[in-house]
Amino acid sequence: MKILVIGSGGREHALIWKIKQSPKVKEIFCAPGNGGIGEDALCVDIAADDIAGLLHFAKEKRIDLTIVGPEAPLVAGIVDEFRKEGLKIFGPSQAAAKLEGSKAFAKEFMHRHGIPTAEFQVFTEPRKARHVFRVVPESDYPLVIKADGLAAGKGVVICKNFSQLDAALSDMMEKKIFKEAGSSVVVEDGLSGEEVSIIAISDGRDFVLLAPSQDHKRIFDNDEGPNTGGMGAYSPVPGVGNELLERISEKIIRPTIEGMAREGAVFVGVLYAGLMLTEDGPKVLEYNVRFGDPETQVILPRLKDDLLELMLAAIDGKLKGRTLQVSDQSAVCVVLAAGGYPGPYENGKEISGLAEAGRLPQTKVFHAGTRRSDGKMLTAGGRVLGVTAWGGTLADAVKRSYAAVGKISFEKGQYRRDIGAKALKKTGAANR
């Protein structure tokens, strides 16, 4: 088969690396891809949100299956456009992608279907929100404010008091720092607990759960500093065993898929539920309608099944009775980012040590913001690399991953030293 993968991050590199292992694959293209993806697929210079350009390319090259990495083209309706032209594509329709495209829709959907999530209110006028929250006692904080639309993972502010909420309302709704995404906002109760990413592949009626993983959202060690797209991940997650997964399946994933079908927006593709494991059980923080990044980088090395075949089965509505084979190994991904990220950063720094890191066993360096130029690999984004390794235990995977990180360098590079550390502590395993 001829495959087109849309996107340019570590997630897309991991998808390509995994799909390439399928005997069904003849050729893989990636639009637009990155420096490292170029070693595993043929990169074509079409932006991930250029739906017309992608459609034209898929037709011209007679692509058998298109796989969409990021949310923006899904929310913009790429799946509907491809299907209209009779092209096979893996991902949810525009109507189904609203679960990620509108946080207000997602919250109201969860409310309609009894899916556990934080109590919330939706506002379209800052004046009304101020009126409500000015009188809320400080003991009811933290409250969390979320821009309704897509904001590249930055549209969430956790507020400790009214003045922080007031400032966030002003940024989102009046200064429009996220443009139209902030025209309406969700304000919800702050939840506490461990976070876990649960990723399912759905055929619209049935689904399979991929291995649970945990992301590290903050930029600095010990979960300090601002939120990022994700600075590292590991899988499996201690404490998230079969019993809890079964509960998450039945109370969250199944009602979501059935609810969407009942509302006429059949959900085919990847359903990612970002959960908080609270004292009252798991609650949904957010839905995404695509693979997580960097979660994908640790989930796929553990998946023994043919991912391409799973995607085709999902499109054909054939996931009923399906179970997955997942290795007992642990996997860890440490993200190397440009200095300054998630704020402004410089591009074009030469990366050294990739070949040495790549020669280490049970290790794969997935590229995100990289670009090849004159035989050199240069940085070209905030998150630059996802250094991934797997081993018999989480401690082993952590050790391998950081050994590979130690081989790689570029000017002003930064990474967290504590990916997986909290989980290691919990399981009593010796720290690195």
What are the CA-CA distances from residue 237 to residues 115, 332, 398, 431 (Å)? 22, 11, 13, 16
Q: Does 232 bind ligand AMP (CB under 6 A)?
A: no
Pick between residue 58 and residue 106 the one whose CB is nearest to ligand AMP.
106
Q: Segment near ligand AMP (CB under 6 A), from 73-81, 188-196, 245-253, 330-338?
A: 188-196
Pick between residue 288 and residue 329 the one whose CB is nearest to ligand GLY.
288
Pick between residue 217 and residue 407 the one whose CB is nearest to ligand GLY.
217
Pick between residue 38 and residue 153 the one whose CB is nearest to ligand GLY.
153
Site mask for ligand AMP (CB under 6 A), range 102-141, x = bound: ----------------x-----------------------
Q: Does 190 bind ligand AMP (CB under 6 A)?
A: yes
- CA dist 107 and 146 (Å) reads 11
Q: Are 342 and 154 in contact (CB under 8 A)?
A: yes
Q: Which long-range contacts (CB under 8 A, 24 or more apart) does 316-322 make?
A: 316/203, 317/203, 317/204, 317/205, 317/268, 318/203, 319/201, 319/202, 319/203, 319/205, 319/206, 319/207, 319/208, 320/203, 320/205, 320/206, 321/206, 322/206, 322/208
**Binds 292: which of ligand AMP, ligand GLY, none (CB < 5-8 Å by kind):** ligand GLY
Of 126, 236, 120, nearest to 172 by C-alpha is 126
Q: How many residues bind ligand AMP (CB under 6 A)?
A: 15
Minimum CB separation of residue 291 from ligand GLY in Å reads 7
User: Quick one: which H or E segment has residue 345?
Assistant: none
Of 282, 284, 397, 281, nearest to 334 by C-alpha is 397
**Binds 332: which of ligand AMP, ligand GLY, none (CB < 5-8 Å by kind):** none
What is the Cα 277 distance to its own chain's centre? 18
β-strand partners of 196: 275
Contacting residue, 195, 263, 305, 396, with ligand AMP by CB under 6 A: 195
Minimum CB separation of residue 193 from ligand GLY in Å reads 17
- CA dist 204 and 319 (Å) reads 9
Pick between residue 148 and residue 206 the one whose CB is nearest to ligand AMP.
148
Pick between residue 284 and residue 300 the one whose CB is nearest to ligand AMP.
284
Residue 50 makes CB contacts below 8 A (sequence gap 6+) with none
Q: How many CA atoms lie within 13 A of 350 on its CB side?
A: 6
Of 182, 162, 170, nearest to 122 by C-alpha is 182
Q: Which residues bind ligand GLY (CB under 6 A)?
A: 153, 215, 230, 288, 292-293, 295
What are the CA-CA distances from residue 50 to residues 31, 33, 43, 44, 305 (Å)? 10, 14, 15, 12, 31
Of 259, 236, 214, 267, nearest to 97 by C-alpha is 267
**Binds 156: which of ligand GLY, ligand AMP, none (CB < 5-8 Å by kind):** ligand AMP
Q: Are 288 and 71 in contact (CB under 8 A)?
A: yes
In the bound state, the residue with its beta carbon closest to ligand AMP is 286
Residues 310-329 that bind ligand AMP (CB under 6 A): none
Minimum CB separation of residue 341 from ligand AMP in Å reads 17
Residues 137-156 that bind ligand AMP (CB under 6 A): 144, 146, 153, 156
Contacting residue, 98, 107, 216, 217, with ligand AMP by CB under 6 A: 217
Site mask for ligand AMP (CB under 6 A), range 255-294, x = bound: -------------------x----------xx--------
The contact set with ligand AMP (CB under 6 A) reads 118, 144, 146, 153, 156, 158, 188, 190-191, 195, 217, 227, 274, 285-286
